[in-house]
Structure 1
């Protein structure tokens, strides 16, 4: 193993309470008749790209308006996350410090542009990571973005750590091992290693 690539939501942090506030505020400003989005609603779309999020949360809204609302939500979400942050999983920073002294670390997330930067700004963790990527910048799938980060940084023996079957699929597409963060939001069945708490990753050193 020469490097570690992380998913973000459900792996490094839980941003849902902050995201929920931002989305409800933005949606109600445009469509006050909409029902309140719940934590459960947002857990169900974590890790999806734009089209999937739109179809799940606002299926009854016309596509053009739906996408306009979502981009406004993403912008408000970035602002609020930069200010308030999310909930880091226990011992994230301590574990990242240990890992970064032994491996280069990276983030590949299915998020919009500016989201990873908001995570960095809120929690001051940018110094632990060498590079990151997302479909908001590239338009690529998660698997393709993992491959892009590997190629860009000359990685030959990376592992990917995430919390969903979609993360597992992305790791398989990039032909690298998948470590399943079972404490996160999703489920996965086929993995090389199960991680029950983020601090367990210290054992990789």
Structure 2
């Protein structure tokens, strides 16, 4: 594997854990709409990283697509409202590691989230000056492999890698034709990777040594 010129990071399960805030955004929206439903952390854990259209079918099977998507849009608006104060838990070493890595690489964040969530995360983490660009599923409703190629083409990246925490991340990265780096502390499992790290400090140390 060649030395990368850029690192593209997944967000949820890779850089932070905001599942409790995400669950709360569902429950506040349901309460507002008088829907008798409670979403727990465990309900969302198995769905993290999933594209919005697939996620709504699983969480709201009794609603037609238009109604489910409408509710999901309201959930995302609620999420944008509460994230600046509720935030999430940064994984150990991420903020410091990102700042170090940014001195050596172009850094990107690419996530299957709604528009506006990544900038809120970047502000929460205090890494506004360290991230070159980001891309969210909500910008075009396209899968990760498509959006990886958009970032690669836009920034003329030659040897990027994608860093994520699920088998879905691995599959999408393969489809984009770039190496996949797995962080084992996140939400998922996979055996399909070029490199794996058990913590962010190890990842930072490795890439800073290249």
TM-score category (smaller protein): over 0.9
Q: Note the 1:1-205 alignment, pairs <5 A.
A: 1-34=4-37, 36-202=38-204, 203-205=206-208
Post-superposition offset of 1:168: 0.5
* Deviations 1:151-199 (CA, angstroms, capped at 9, x unpaired): 1111010111000111101111111110111100011111001111011
Normalising by structure 1, report the TM-score.
0.95
The aligned length equals: 204
Post-superposition offset of 1:62: 2.8
Q: Does the CA-based 8 Å contact 1:105-1:129 persist in structure 2?
A: yes
Normalising by structure 2, report the TM-score.
0.93
* Deviations 1:112-149 (CA, angstroms, capped at 9, x unpaired): 11110121232322211101112211232100101110
Q: Does the CA-based 8 Å contact 1:161-1:179 persist in structure 2?
A: yes
Post-superposition offset of 1:64: 2.2
* Deviations 1:80-102 (CA, angstroms, capped at 9, x unpaired): 11222111000111111111111
RMSD: 1.2
Structure 2 unaligned regions, length at least 5: none
Structure 1 unaligned regions, length at least 5: none
Task: Give the match's secondary structure for 2:187.
Answer: coil
